[in-house]
Amino acid sequence: MRLLVTGARGMLGHDVTAAAERAGHDVVALSRSALDITDAAAVSAACREARPHAVINCAAWTDVDGAEAEEARATVVNGEGAGHVAAAAASIGALVVQVSSDYVFPGSAAEPYPEVAPTAPLGAYGRSKLAGEIAVATGAPEWHAIVRSSWLFGVHGRNFVATMLRLGAERDEVTVVDDQVGCPTFTGHLGPALVEVAEGKLTGVMHVAGGGYCSWRDLAVATFAQAGVECRVRPGTTEELSRPAPRPAFSALGSLRDDVPRLPPWEDGLAAYLAAVGAEAGAR
C-alpha cells in the first residue's frame, strides 16, 4: 500500500517511515520543511499528488511547556493542522491515522485510562491535542484512527532517556519526579504499530503505548541500570520541579479493544532503545 507520512523527519516520523519501508510499502515521507500541515492548500495538494491509501500524521507541536505560553500557535499545529490532514485524506478516500497523547486526560485516575474515559486536559498542550482529535473526527468522520500514546522516546530526537544518559555521564546524582506516572513508549515499537493500524484499516480511538507503567524516577533508575551508569536518582516532586505546564499525575493508558497493536513492556522498549543508540554510535 502507499502511505504518506507527515513530520517524517521527527523522532516518531522517522521510525514510522522506516517501519513502513521495511514492510515493503510505497512511502511518501514529507518533513516539516516539505509540508507545513498548517497550510490547508498545501496539504490538500500533497495528498492529491501522492494518492496514498493512508496518511499517518506525525507532524506536531511537542513542546509541552512552550505550549503553555503559546497555546494559540500550538493549537494551530496540533488542532487545525491535524484537521487539514484529515480533510485532505478524506477527500481522496484515504484513512488518516492521527497520533494523540495521554495529556488529554486529567491524571486523576487510579488505574490506566481506557479509550472511553472522559477527557479533561490540564494544560495547553493537552487542549491542543484534544482539539486535534476533534478536528480529525470532524474532517474525516467515516475513516479515521486516533492513536493515543505516552512518554515517547526514540533514537532520532530529544527525549527523557537521552537526557538521563547525558546527565548520568556528567553527575553522580540527579533528581527526578516520582509523582507522575505514565507508559514510556519506544518509537521503534510505536512506529510499526502505527503502520499496522494503517494496514488493518482500524478506525476509532485506540490506546497504544509501552506495556505497564512507571514514574519518571523509575524510568531514570531503569535507564542507568540497563546502561551500566552509576548515578543515584533522588526522588523529587512536581511542585519542586516547578515547570510552566501542569502535568497529569497518573496518565497510564490501557485499552478495551482487542484489535489494536500491543506493544512490549516499557522495559523492553528501553532495552531496544539503548541497543539502537549503541549500534548507531558504533556505526559512526
Which positions are annotated as active-site residues? 125
- CA–CA distance, 152 with 149 (Å, rounded to integer): 8
Report CA dihedral (153, 159, 165, 170) to the nearest 10 degrees: 180
181 in Cβ contact with 214 (< 8 Å):
yes
85 in Cβ contact with 211 (< 8 Å):
no
H helices then E strands: how many in the chain? 11, 12
CA 123, 125, 126, 128 torsion: positive or negative? positive
- CA–CA distance, 90 with 161 (Å, rounded to integer): 37
- CA–CA distance, 22 with 6 (Å, rounded to integer): 18
Cell numbers standing for residue 113: 485510562
CA–centroid distance for 108 within its chain: 21
- CA-to-CA dists, residue 86 to 24, 89, 104, 140, 192, angstroms: 24, 5, 19, 5, 21
SS3 101: strand
SS3 120: coil
- Angle between helical axes of 216-227 and 266-283 (0-180°, round to 10): 50
- CA–CA distance, 67 with 141 (Å, rounded to integer): 27
